[in-house]
Structure 1
Amino acid sequence: MADEQFGDPAGRCPASPRDVFITVYGRKPVLEALNDPALTIDKVIVAEQSRGEEVQEILAAAAQRQIPVRRVSAHRVKVLAGNGRHDQGVLADVVAPRMRPLDGALKKLVSPVAVLVLDAITNPANVGMILRTATAAGIDGVVLPRRGVPAVDPLVIKASAGVAFHAPVLRSATAIQACATLRAAGFAVLGLSGSVRGAASLFGDPPPPRVAYVLGNETTGISPAVAAQLTGWVCIPMTGDVESLNVASAAAVVCFDWARRRAGDSLGAHRPRRAPRRHRIPK
């Protein structure tokens, strides 16, 4: 992640570049991003000693699109990429138009609204699939804490089939902080679990018009510290001696149950219903 100062005096931009850029590293991923006209690239950063045909293609593509290129030390590239084994001496900061801090996003979300909060989900493939599913279902935001969840890197982008660049990613320091912020904003914060006794069925009563669903770690589930911030628990009813689903699969069920309810206007929101169509009866 580029470390330049970011933001303007009018407060129109997030204070941190981590809340607006997705850092892509590796020669092939960077070149693919540069060749995608749908993506806005803020800058390209190349290690001073990086050479070769692919690097020349990257420099040429950046020049063609008038994208600034910075030369820095190889060590600096590794630090900025956050992955010293796979950066290949090059990275690019891609503008993510729907990525923003959670605090600022909450002021603009109008009920009915649903968000997901990821708590210590560690597999980049799961994170990418959740972003893809949530975006497809029209979920209003997916909270990716800066600690405990993989950054949106090439592995996450690949698993999302490129949707991660346009996903409604909300940033918070931790899942604990995110849940506290959501509660203060009037959200019901519901943990998804198949083992908590007394959890309500996801398919039961309509959820509140402002709801956050918390998805926990692939092995240990929702952490005790995050569980302390919840306002309730929900579960996905299952049969056939199946105890649980993969977290990405569970997220898909949650997202499209919400989408189904929103489409059917069963979320308790005060929205005008369309008048029934009257058919003329032939005489």
Structure 2
Amino acid sequence: MSPKDRFLTVYGRKPVLEALQDPALEVDKVILADTARGPAAAEIERAARDAGVAVARASPHRVKVLAGNGKQDQGVLADVVVPRMRPLDAALDSRTAPARVLLLDGITTPANVGMILRTATAAGIGGVVVPRRGVAALDPLVVKASAGVAFRAPVLRCGTAGQAAEQLTAAGYGLYALGASARDTVFGVELPSRAAFVLGGETAGVSPEVAEQVTTWLSVPMPGEVESLNVSAAAAVLCFELVRREL
């Protein structure tokens, strides 16, 4: 399993320190830039020592590469274990494959990704597919938007949304996508035992490579004079409709 499918990397002094001081989180390691000195670095090293976490030193360039954000890493990062994160193919091959999953397709705003992770986790959704490409990176901005729930969200990783759609279809999932003009609604459609719901990007919507694999398009009825909902709001409507069906 790739480290990217086990850890959520946070960077910056405050996020790293908060992760080290949170007893509910397991931090695998901390990496400090060789040039990181002074009270802030000392505080991080002290917190890591108290938590029993190893601290490694690396060049500032290496820290920037590992963090994936050269402007905001502040010379430090930490790999935090996300116990429910795993590769999509591993989830689909298991005996406990989730019955309901969300597939993020081109959602690039970290706040939306974070809020969707929080909502889906609250609703008990079995998995949220977050592709490594084409979707906002799982970083401190996503963690902040999720109010920390991203660390325990059921994240499923894959390469692209198109690949995920293929895998889900091959595994017997009906593939549903949200679209404002769809005749079927999230409240009226009959669902199979396995269903995946595509949430398209803020501007372009569902990508062509995913759209061609969609089984059914669904809408959220809106009698008011509004064309569409923010994707995270639409996800919330969908998630709690799924909860309602199980009550």
TM-score (norm 1): 0.85
2:162 paired with 1:149: no
Question: Corresponding residue for 1:221?
Answer: 205
Distance apart, 1:85 and its partner CA: 0.3
1:205 lines up with 2:189 in the alignment? yes
Cα separation, 2, equivalents of 1:262 and 1:208: 14
* Structure showing the higher helix proportion among its residues: 2
1:77 is aligned to 2:63: yes
Change over 3 Å in CA distance of 1:103–1:112 after alignment to 2: closer
How far did residue 41 of structure 1 move?
A: 0.6
Shift of 1:134: 0.2
Superposition pairs for residues 112-151 of structure 1, below 5 Å?
113-151=99-137
Q: Write the letter of the residue equivalent to 1:106.
A: L
Percent of pairs identical after alignment? 63
Partner of 1:26: 12
1:168 aligned partner? 154
**Contact 2:88–2:157, Cα closer than 8 Å, also in 1:** yes
- Opposite residue 178 of structure 1, the aligned amino acid is A
SS in 2 for 1:221: coil
**Structure-2 separation of matches of 1:81 and 1:213:** 30
1:225 to partner: Cα distance: 1.3
Counterparts in 2 of 1:241 and 1:29: CA distance versus 1, 3 Å: same
- Per-residue Cα deviation, 1:225-265 (whole angstroms, up to 9, x for no partner): 110121111111111122110000000001000011122xx
Deviation at 1:206, TM superposition (A): 2.9
Q: Find the counterpart in structure 2 of residue 184 from structure 1.
A: 170
Distance in 2 (CA, whole Å) between partners of 1:157 and 1:109 is 29
Residue aligned with 1:201, SS: coil
**1:176-235 CA distances to partner (integer Å, 9 max, x unpaired)?**
000100000000011111034xx4111113311100000001112101111012111111
Asked if the contact 2:104–2:130 (Cα under 8 Å) also holds between the matched residues in 1, the reply is yes
- CA deviation after TM superposition for structure 1 residue 91, in Å: 0.2
Structure showing greater Rg: 1
Equivalent residue letter for 1:235 = S
How far 1:112 sits from its partner (Å)?
7.2
In structure 2, C-alpha distance between the alignment counterparts of 1:225 and 1:168, rounded to whole Å: 24
In structure 2, runs of 5+ residues without a counterpart are none
Mark the runs of 5 or more structure 1 residues left unpaired by the alignment.
1-13, 264-283
Aligned Cα root-mean-square deviation (Å): 1.2
Alignment-mate amino acid for residue 193 of structure 1: G
Using a 3 Å threshold, how does the CA distance of structure 1 residues 43 and 111 change in structure 2: closer, same or farther?
closer
**Count of residues in correspondence between the two structures:** 247
- 231-240 vs 199-208, greater mean Cα deviation: 199-208
| Structure of higher RCO (CA pairs closer than 8 Å, 6+ residues apart) | 2
1:235 and 2:219 aligned: yes
